[in-house]
Amino acid sequence: MEAISKRDCTILRDMAKIQIDIAYSQKMEEIKSAWETHGAFKPSSRPMILINTSSFENDIIPPLMRCQSEEARKIEWALHRNVVNHTLFSDDTVVDDTMSISSYWYFTLFGLDVQFDRSNGLAYHFIPYINDLGEDFHKFGKSRFGHKTDIKHDIDIRNEIFGDILPVVEGPFTPSAYATLELLHLINMEDMYTAMLDYPELFHKMMEMLTVDFLEYFDMLERENALLPTVRSCPLPQGTYCYTDVLLECGINLKTKDVWGYMDSQETTGISPAMFYEFIAPYYNRIISRFGLLSYGCCEAVHNIWDGFLAKLDNLKKVSISPWCDEDYMGEQLCDRNIVYLRKTSPNYLGVGVNLDESALRVHVNKTIVAAKGCFLELIQNDVHQINGTWEKVRRFVDILRECSENHVK
Protein backbone atom coordinates (compact mmCIF):
# COMPACT_ATOMS: atom_id res chain seq x y z
CA MET A 1 0.00 0.00 0.00
CA GLU A 2 1.20 3.49 -0.83
CA ALA A 3 2.36 5.44 2.22
CA ILE A 4 0.23 8.39 3.26
CA SER A 5 2.27 11.56 3.69
CA LYS A 6 2.18 13.85 6.71
CA ARG A 7 0.56 16.50 4.53
CA ASP A 8 -2.23 14.16 3.45
CA CYS A 9 -2.73 12.97 7.03
CA THR A 10 -3.20 16.58 8.10
CA ILE A 11 -5.82 17.11 5.40
CA LEU A 12 -7.68 13.96 6.46
CA ARG A 13 -7.58 14.93 10.12
CA ASP A 14 -8.94 18.37 9.27
CA MET A 15 -11.78 16.75 7.34
CA ALA A 16 -12.50 14.41 10.24
CA LYS A 17 -12.83 17.48 12.47
CA ILE A 18 -15.32 18.98 10.00
CA GLN A 19 -17.46 15.84 10.12
CA ILE A 20 -17.42 15.55 13.91
CA ASP A 21 -18.30 19.23 14.28
CA ILE A 22 -21.28 18.80 11.97
CA ALA A 23 -22.34 15.61 13.75
CA TYR A 24 -22.54 17.47 17.08
CA SER A 25 -24.07 20.66 15.69
CA GLN A 26 -27.50 21.94 16.67
CA LYS A 27 -28.67 21.62 13.08
CA MET A 28 -27.75 17.94 12.96
CA GLU A 29 -29.51 17.30 16.27
CA GLU A 30 -32.65 18.78 14.70
CA ILE A 31 -32.32 16.57 11.61
CA LYS A 32 -31.80 13.43 13.71
CA SER A 33 -34.77 14.31 15.88
CA ALA A 34 -36.92 14.79 12.77
CA TRP A 35 -35.87 11.36 11.49
CA GLU A 36 -36.65 9.74 14.84
CA THR A 37 -40.11 11.31 14.81
CA HIS A 38 -40.62 10.19 11.22
CA GLY A 39 -39.35 6.65 11.89
CA ALA A 40 -41.70 6.27 14.84
CA PHE A 41 -44.68 7.35 12.68
CA LYS A 42 -45.60 10.19 15.01
CA PRO A 43 -48.29 12.63 13.82
CA SER A 44 -45.81 15.53 14.05
CA SER A 45 -43.59 13.93 11.39
CA ARG A 46 -42.59 16.26 8.55
CA PRO A 47 -41.62 15.28 4.98
CA MET A 48 -37.98 14.22 4.83
CA ILE A 49 -35.82 15.23 1.86
CA LEU A 50 -32.78 13.30 0.62
CA ILE A 51 -30.52 13.62 -2.41
CA ASN A 52 -28.61 10.50 -3.44
CA THR A 53 -25.33 11.87 -4.79
CA SER A 54 -23.66 8.51 -5.47
CA SER A 55 -24.50 8.56 -9.19
CA PHE A 56 -23.38 12.15 -9.81
CA GLU A 57 -20.68 12.71 -7.18
CA ASN A 58 -18.10 13.02 -9.96
CA ASP A 59 -19.75 16.38 -10.70
CA ILE A 60 -19.38 17.48 -7.08
CA ILE A 61 -16.43 15.98 -5.23
CA PRO A 62 -13.35 16.27 -7.55
CA PRO A 63 -12.98 20.07 -7.16
CA LEU A 64 -12.92 19.59 -3.39
CA MET A 65 -10.09 17.04 -3.36
CA ARG A 66 -6.66 18.06 -1.98
CA CYS A 67 -4.81 14.86 -1.06
CA GLN A 68 -2.05 13.55 -3.34
CA SER A 69 -1.56 9.82 -2.80
CA GLU A 70 -4.09 7.34 -4.18
CA GLU A 71 -4.78 5.77 -0.79
CA ALA A 72 -5.29 9.15 0.90
CA ARG A 73 -7.58 10.34 -1.90
CA LYS A 74 -9.75 7.24 -1.47
CA ILE A 75 -10.22 8.09 2.20
CA GLU A 76 -10.68 11.79 1.45
CA TRP A 77 -13.39 10.98 -1.09
CA ALA A 78 -15.27 8.96 1.54
CA LEU A 79 -15.04 11.82 4.03
CA HIS A 80 -16.39 14.28 1.47
CA ARG A 81 -19.20 11.85 0.68
CA ASN A 82 -20.15 11.84 4.37
CA VAL A 83 -20.66 15.61 4.60
CA VAL A 84 -21.20 17.06 1.11
CA ASN A 85 -24.99 16.80 1.24
CA HIS A 86 -25.04 18.82 4.44
CA THR A 87 -22.44 21.40 3.52
CA LEU A 88 -23.61 22.03 -0.05
CA PHE A 89 -27.26 21.00 -0.37
CA SER A 90 -28.73 21.26 3.16
CA ASP A 91 -31.04 18.27 2.75
CA ASP A 92 -31.90 15.83 5.55
CA THR A 93 -28.81 13.65 5.19
CA VAL A 94 -27.52 12.50 8.58
CA VAL A 95 -23.87 13.16 9.42
CA ASP A 96 -22.72 10.67 12.05
CA ASP A 97 -20.05 10.97 14.73
CA THR A 98 -18.27 7.92 13.31
CA MET A 99 -17.01 6.77 9.93
CA SER A 100 -18.75 3.52 9.09
CA ILE A 101 -17.36 0.78 6.82
CA SER A 102 -19.55 -2.22 6.05
CA SER A 103 -18.47 -5.73 5.15
CA TYR A 104 -19.38 -7.06 1.73
CA TRP A 105 -21.30 -10.33 1.46
CA TYR A 106 -21.86 -11.72 -2.00
CA PHE A 107 -24.61 -13.84 -3.53
CA THR A 108 -24.03 -15.46 -6.95
CA LEU A 109 -27.30 -16.88 -8.24
CA PHE A 110 -27.07 -20.50 -9.40
CA GLY A 111 -23.26 -20.26 -9.29
CA LEU A 112 -23.17 -18.31 -12.58
CA ASP A 113 -20.92 -15.24 -12.54
CA VAL A 114 -22.56 -12.24 -14.19
CA GLN A 115 -21.26 -11.50 -17.69
CA PHE A 116 -21.79 -8.08 -19.23
CA ASP A 117 -20.60 -5.84 -22.02
CA ARG A 118 -19.85 -2.26 -20.97
CA SER A 119 -18.31 -1.14 -24.26
CA ASN A 120 -20.84 1.66 -24.67
CA GLY A 121 -19.77 3.93 -21.82
CA LEU A 122 -22.34 4.23 -19.05
CA ALA A 123 -24.74 1.73 -20.65
CA TYR A 124 -24.11 -1.99 -20.44
CA HIS A 125 -25.64 -5.25 -21.62
CA PHE A 126 -25.87 -8.52 -19.71
CA ILE A 127 -24.67 -11.55 -21.66
CA PRO A 128 -27.23 -14.28 -20.91
CA TYR A 129 -26.53 -17.89 -20.01
CA ILE A 130 -30.14 -18.89 -20.67
CA ASN A 131 -31.78 -18.39 -24.07
CA ASP A 132 -34.40 -21.13 -23.81
CA LEU A 133 -35.32 -22.22 -20.29
CA GLY A 134 -36.21 -25.74 -21.38
CA GLU A 135 -32.97 -26.33 -23.26
CA ASP A 136 -30.66 -24.48 -20.84
CA PHE A 137 -32.09 -25.35 -17.42
CA HIS A 138 -29.25 -27.78 -16.78
CA LYS A 139 -26.87 -24.80 -16.51
CA PHE A 140 -28.35 -23.85 -13.16
CA GLY A 141 -26.32 -24.99 -10.17
CA LYS A 142 -26.29 -24.18 -6.48
CA SER A 143 -25.94 -20.48 -5.67
CA ARG A 144 -22.69 -19.33 -4.08
CA PHE A 145 -22.58 -16.86 -1.21
CA GLY A 146 -20.16 -15.73 1.43
CA HIS A 147 -17.88 -13.01 2.77
CA LYS A 148 -15.82 -11.19 0.17
CA THR A 149 -14.08 -8.30 1.90
CA ASP A 150 -12.11 -8.12 5.14
CA ILE A 151 -12.55 -4.54 6.31
CA LYS A 152 -10.35 -4.72 9.43
CA HIS A 153 -7.30 -3.34 7.62
CA ASP A 154 -9.24 -0.36 6.24
CA ILE A 155 -10.68 0.38 9.68
CA ASP A 156 -7.25 0.18 11.34
CA ILE A 157 -5.61 2.50 8.78
CA ARG A 158 -8.26 5.16 9.18
CA ASN A 159 -8.30 4.91 12.96
CA GLU A 160 -4.54 5.33 12.98
CA ILE A 161 -4.88 8.59 11.04
CA PHE A 162 -7.90 10.23 12.67
CA GLY A 163 -9.62 7.74 14.98
CA ASP A 164 -8.97 9.98 17.99
CA ILE A 165 -11.17 12.59 16.27
CA LEU A 166 -13.63 10.51 14.26
CA PRO A 167 -13.80 6.83 15.29
CA VAL A 168 -13.96 4.34 12.43
CA VAL A 169 -16.26 1.36 13.03
CA GLU A 170 -17.78 -1.59 11.26
CA GLY A 171 -21.19 -0.52 10.02
CA PRO A 172 -24.37 -2.51 9.47
CA PHE A 173 -25.87 -3.40 6.12
CA THR A 174 -29.42 -4.18 5.10
CA PRO A 175 -30.04 -7.76 3.91
CA SER A 176 -31.53 -7.54 0.42
CA ALA A 177 -32.82 -9.94 -2.20
CA TYR A 178 -32.76 -8.47 -5.70
CA ALA A 179 -34.33 -11.69 -6.92
CA THR A 180 -35.67 -10.84 -10.38
CA LEU A 181 -32.64 -8.65 -11.09
CA GLU A 182 -30.45 -11.67 -10.37
CA LEU A 183 -32.52 -13.60 -12.91
CA LEU A 184 -32.13 -10.83 -15.47
CA HIS A 185 -28.36 -11.19 -15.15
CA LEU A 186 -28.74 -14.71 -16.52
CA ILE A 187 -31.69 -14.51 -18.94
CA ASN A 188 -32.96 -11.72 -21.21
CA MET A 189 -36.16 -10.01 -20.08
CA GLU A 190 -38.14 -11.13 -23.12
CA ASP A 191 -36.96 -14.71 -22.66
CA MET A 192 -37.85 -14.54 -18.97
CA TYR A 193 -41.38 -13.39 -19.82
CA THR A 194 -41.97 -16.02 -22.49
CA ALA A 195 -40.56 -18.74 -20.22
CA MET A 196 -43.51 -18.16 -17.88
CA LEU A 197 -45.79 -19.15 -20.77
CA ASP A 198 -43.68 -21.80 -22.47
CA TYR A 199 -42.31 -23.53 -19.38
CA PRO A 200 -44.50 -22.64 -16.39
CA GLU A 201 -43.46 -25.71 -14.37
CA LEU A 202 -39.77 -25.09 -14.99
CA PHE A 203 -40.18 -21.42 -14.14
CA HIS A 204 -41.73 -22.37 -10.82
CA LYS A 205 -38.90 -24.84 -10.24
CA MET A 206 -36.37 -22.09 -10.97
CA MET A 207 -38.08 -19.71 -8.55
CA GLU A 208 -38.17 -22.43 -5.89
CA MET A 209 -34.43 -22.97 -6.29
CA LEU A 210 -33.82 -19.21 -6.11
CA THR A 211 -35.95 -18.88 -2.97
CA VAL A 212 -34.27 -21.76 -1.17
CA ASP A 213 -30.85 -20.34 -1.97
CA PHE A 214 -31.72 -16.86 -0.71
CA LEU A 215 -33.10 -18.34 2.52
CA GLU A 216 -29.92 -20.35 2.95
CA TYR A 217 -27.92 -17.16 2.33
CA PHE A 218 -29.82 -15.49 5.18
CA ASP A 219 -29.17 -18.55 7.36
CA MET A 220 -25.46 -18.12 6.64
CA LEU A 221 -25.55 -14.44 7.60
CA GLU A 222 -27.12 -15.43 10.91
CA ARG A 223 -24.59 -18.22 11.57
CA GLU A 224 -21.67 -15.90 10.82
CA ASN A 225 -23.08 -13.19 13.12
CA ALA A 226 -22.91 -10.82 10.14
CA LEU A 227 -26.03 -8.87 11.06
CA LEU A 228 -25.82 -5.68 13.08
CA PRO A 229 -28.75 -3.53 14.25
CA THR A 230 -30.36 -1.61 11.37
CA VAL A 231 -31.71 1.45 13.13
CA ARG A 232 -31.23 5.20 12.96
CA SER A 233 -28.90 6.28 10.12
CA CYS A 234 -28.09 2.80 8.84
CA PRO A 235 -28.46 3.08 5.03
CA LEU A 236 -31.53 1.46 3.50
CA PRO A 237 -31.66 0.85 -0.27
CA GLN A 238 -33.34 3.53 -2.38
CA GLY A 239 -31.49 6.30 -0.58
CA THR A 240 -33.25 6.34 2.76
CA TYR A 241 -32.53 5.38 6.38
CA CYS A 242 -33.53 2.70 8.87
CA TYR A 243 -34.92 4.97 11.60
CA THR A 244 -37.45 2.98 13.61
CA ASP A 245 -38.47 2.43 17.21
CA VAL A 246 -39.48 -1.23 16.89
CA LEU A 247 -36.21 -3.04 16.07
CA LEU A 248 -33.27 -3.87 18.31
CA GLU A 249 -30.88 -0.98 18.80
CA CYS A 250 -28.02 -3.15 20.01
CA GLY A 251 -27.08 -6.78 20.39
CA ILE A 252 -25.23 -9.66 18.78
CA ASN A 253 -26.29 -12.93 17.16
CA LEU A 254 -29.09 -11.10 15.39
CA LYS A 255 -31.54 -12.81 13.07
CA THR A 256 -33.00 -11.39 9.88
CA LYS A 257 -36.22 -10.94 11.88
CA ASP A 258 -34.33 -8.35 13.95
CA VAL A 259 -33.40 -6.09 11.03
CA TRP A 260 -34.72 -4.26 7.98
CA GLY A 261 -34.80 -6.01 4.62
CA TYR A 262 -35.26 -4.82 1.06
CA MET A 263 -36.77 -6.26 -2.12
CA ASP A 264 -38.01 -5.01 -5.47
CA SER A 265 -39.05 -6.41 -8.83
CA GLN A 266 -38.48 -3.80 -11.52
CA GLU A 267 -37.81 -6.56 -14.02
CA THR A 268 -41.41 -7.88 -13.93
CA THR A 269 -43.08 -4.55 -14.65
CA GLY A 270 -44.00 -5.83 -18.12
CA ILE A 271 -46.14 -8.74 -16.93
CA SER A 272 -49.72 -8.60 -15.72
CA PRO A 273 -50.58 -8.52 -12.02
CA ALA A 274 -52.09 -11.99 -12.41
CA MET A 275 -48.81 -13.38 -13.73
CA PHE A 276 -46.90 -11.61 -10.95
CA TYR A 277 -49.18 -13.18 -8.35
CA GLU A 278 -48.70 -16.62 -9.90
CA PHE A 279 -44.99 -16.70 -10.70
CA ILE A 280 -43.34 -14.16 -8.39
CA ALA A 281 -45.39 -13.28 -5.31
CA PRO A 282 -45.47 -16.74 -3.63
CA TYR A 283 -41.67 -16.87 -3.60
CA TYR A 284 -41.23 -13.22 -2.63
CA ASN A 285 -43.59 -13.77 0.29
CA ARG A 286 -41.36 -16.49 1.70
CA ILE A 287 -38.26 -14.31 1.47
CA ILE A 288 -39.99 -11.19 2.79
CA SER A 289 -41.31 -13.08 5.81
CA ARG A 290 -37.72 -13.41 7.04
CA PHE A 291 -37.31 -9.66 7.58
CA GLY A 292 -38.32 -7.68 10.63
CA LEU A 293 -39.31 -4.65 8.56
CA LEU A 294 -39.44 -4.25 4.80
CA SER A 295 -38.72 -1.46 2.34
CA TYR A 296 -40.06 -2.39 -1.10
CA GLY A 297 -39.68 -1.11 -4.62
CA CYS A 298 -37.37 0.74 -6.94
CA CYS A 299 -38.52 2.21 -10.27
CA GLU A 300 -41.45 -0.15 -10.89
CA ALA A 301 -45.05 1.03 -10.66
CA VAL A 302 -46.18 -0.66 -7.46
CA HIS A 303 -49.83 0.39 -7.73
CA ASN A 304 -50.47 -2.57 -10.06
CA ILE A 305 -49.56 -5.10 -7.38
CA TRP A 306 -50.75 -3.27 -4.29
CA ASP A 307 -54.06 -5.03 -3.60
CA GLY A 308 -52.96 -8.58 -4.34
CA PHE A 309 -49.46 -8.45 -2.85
CA LEU A 310 -48.04 -5.43 -1.04
CA ALA A 311 -51.15 -4.59 0.98
CA LYS A 312 -50.98 -8.05 2.54
CA LEU A 313 -47.43 -7.69 3.91
CA ASP A 314 -47.48 -7.18 7.66
CA ASN A 315 -43.88 -5.94 7.83
CA LEU A 316 -44.03 -3.41 4.97
CA LYS A 317 -42.94 0.00 6.29
CA LYS A 318 -41.63 1.86 3.22
CA VAL A 319 -42.78 1.61 -0.39
CA SER A 320 -41.23 3.33 -3.39
CA ILE A 321 -43.54 5.63 -5.34
CA SER A 322 -41.58 6.04 -8.56
CA PRO A 323 -42.22 8.51 -11.41
CA TRP A 324 -44.09 5.69 -13.19
CA CYS A 325 -46.42 5.02 -10.29
CA ASP A 326 -50.00 6.21 -9.85
CA GLU A 327 -49.19 8.48 -6.94
CA ASP A 328 -52.79 9.52 -6.33
CA TYR A 329 -53.92 5.92 -5.96
CA MET A 330 -50.99 5.08 -3.68
CA GLY A 331 -51.70 8.16 -1.60
CA GLU A 332 -55.21 6.86 -1.01
CA GLN A 333 -53.86 3.45 0.01
CA LEU A 334 -51.17 4.77 2.36
CA CYS A 335 -53.19 7.57 3.94
CA ASP A 336 -53.31 7.18 7.74
CA ARG A 337 -51.18 4.01 7.59
CA ASN A 338 -47.78 3.50 9.19
CA ILE A 339 -46.08 2.96 5.84
CA VAL A 340 -43.78 5.57 4.34
CA TYR A 341 -44.80 7.08 1.00
CA LEU A 342 -41.24 7.11 -0.41
CA ARG A 343 -41.65 9.39 -3.40
CA LYS A 344 -38.90 9.43 -6.01
CA THR A 345 -39.06 12.74 -7.80
CA SER A 346 -38.32 12.67 -11.52
CA PRO A 347 -34.58 12.82 -12.29
CA ASN A 348 -35.23 15.09 -15.28
CA TYR A 349 -35.18 18.31 -13.27
CA LEU A 350 -31.63 17.86 -12.02
CA GLY A 351 -30.34 15.70 -14.85
CA VAL A 352 -31.55 17.61 -17.91
CA GLY A 353 -30.48 21.11 -18.82
CA VAL A 354 -28.08 23.54 -17.21
CA ASN A 355 -30.76 25.64 -15.53
CA LEU A 356 -33.37 24.32 -13.14
CA ASP A 357 -36.94 24.67 -14.42
CA GLU A 358 -38.29 25.92 -11.13
CA SER A 359 -41.91 26.38 -12.17
CA ALA A 360 -42.16 22.86 -13.64
CA LEU A 361 -40.48 21.41 -10.57
CA ARG A 362 -42.97 23.11 -8.28
CA VAL A 363 -45.88 21.67 -10.28
CA HIS A 364 -44.28 18.22 -10.10
CA VAL A 365 -43.66 18.32 -6.35
CA ASN A 366 -46.95 20.00 -5.44
CA LYS A 367 -48.79 17.19 -7.18
CA THR A 368 -47.04 14.78 -4.83
CA ILE A 369 -47.84 16.94 -1.80
CA VAL A 370 -51.53 16.73 -2.66
CA ALA A 371 -51.42 13.01 -3.48
CA ALA A 372 -49.60 12.18 -0.24
CA LYS A 373 -52.00 14.03 2.05
CA GLY A 374 -52.26 12.07 5.30
CA CYS A 375 -49.15 10.01 4.49
CA PHE A 376 -45.70 9.82 6.05
CA LEU A 377 -43.74 11.34 3.19
CA GLU A 378 -40.14 11.13 2.02
CA LEU A 379 -38.94 12.97 -1.09
CA ILE A 380 -35.97 11.09 -2.48
CA GLN A 381 -33.92 12.05 -5.55
CA ASN A 382 -32.20 9.10 -7.19
CA ASP A 383 -30.94 8.16 -10.65
CA VAL A 384 -29.30 11.46 -11.65
CA HIS A 385 -26.02 10.67 -13.41
CA GLN A 386 -24.95 14.24 -14.11
CA ILE A 387 -26.34 17.57 -13.01
CA ASN A 388 -25.28 19.66 -16.05
CA GLY A 389 -24.39 22.53 -13.79
CA THR A 390 -23.01 23.43 -10.39
CA TRP A 391 -23.87 22.31 -6.89
CA GLU A 392 -25.97 25.48 -6.49
CA LYS A 393 -28.49 23.88 -8.84
CA VAL A 394 -28.92 20.99 -6.41
CA ARG A 395 -29.14 23.36 -3.45
CA ARG A 396 -31.91 25.30 -5.17
CA PHE A 397 -33.67 22.01 -5.97
CA VAL A 398 -33.66 21.13 -2.26
CA ASP A 399 -34.90 24.60 -1.32
CA ILE A 400 -37.90 24.23 -3.62
CA LEU A 401 -38.71 20.76 -2.28
CA ARG A 402 -38.51 22.20 1.22
CA GLU A 403 -40.81 25.10 0.36
CA CYS A 404 -43.38 22.83 -1.31
CA SER A 405 -43.29 20.31 1.53
CA GLU A 406 -44.36 23.01 4.00
CA ASN A 407 -47.84 22.62 2.49
CA HIS A 408 -47.97 18.89 3.27
CA VAL A 409 -50.79 17.94 5.58
CA LYS A 410 -50.27 14.87 7.76
Q: For residue range 283-311, list pLDDT tens digits in order.
A: 999 999 999 999 999 999 999 999 999 99
- What pLDDT does residue 410 have? 83
pLDDT-derived band of residue 389, with 50, 70 and 90 as boundaries?
confident
**Structural domain contains residue 265:** yes
80-107 average pLDDT score: 97
**Structural domain contains residue 133:** yes
* Count of structural domains, the chain: 1
- What pLDDT does residue 251 have? 87
pLDDT-derived band of residue 246, with 50, 70 and 90 as boundaries?
very high
**Structural domain contains residue 35:** no
As a whole number, the mean pLDDT across the chain is 96
**Structural domain contains residue 141:** yes
Are the CB atoms for 283 and 305 separated by under 8 Å?
A: no
**Full domain range(s) for residue 126:** 110-149+172-344
Indicate if the pLDDT at residue 228 is higher than 70: yes
Q: Of 385, 349, 354, 351, whose CA–CA distance to 368 is shortest? A: 349
- What pLDDT does residue 321 have? 98
Indicate if the pLDDT at residue 318 is higher than 90: yes
**Structural domain contains residue 321:** yes
Identity of the amino acid at 13: R
CB atoms near residue 331 (< 10 Å) = 21
The end-to-end CA distance of the chain, in Å, is 53
100-122 average pLDDT score: 89
Taking the model in full, what pTM does it have? 0.96
pLDDT-derived band of residue 1, with 50, 70 and 90 as boundaries?
low
| Residue 135 backbone zone (phi > 0: left; psi -120 to 50: alpha; other: beta) | alpha
- What pLDDT does residue 150 have? 84
**Structural domain contains residue 8:** no
Indicate if the pLDDT at residue 124 is higher than 90: no
- What pLDDT does residue 337 have? 97
**Structural domain contains residue 178:** yes
pLDDT-derived band of residue 73, with 50, 70 and 90 as boundaries?
very high
Indicate if the pLDDT at residue 241 is higher than 80: yes
More confident residue, 342 or 103: 342
% residues pLDDT > 90 (the chain): 93
For 202-227, the pLDDT digits (tens) are 999 999 999 999 999 999 999 999 99
For 323-363, the pLDDT digits (tens) are 999 999 999 999 999 999 999 999 999 999 999 999 999 99
Q: Which residues of 350-382 are buried (b: 16+ CB within 10 A; e: fewer)?
A: bbeeeebeeeebeebbeebbebbeebbbbbbbb
Indicate if the pLDDT at residue 152 is higher than 80: yes
- What pLDDT does residue 214 have? 98
**Structural domain contains residue 127:** yes
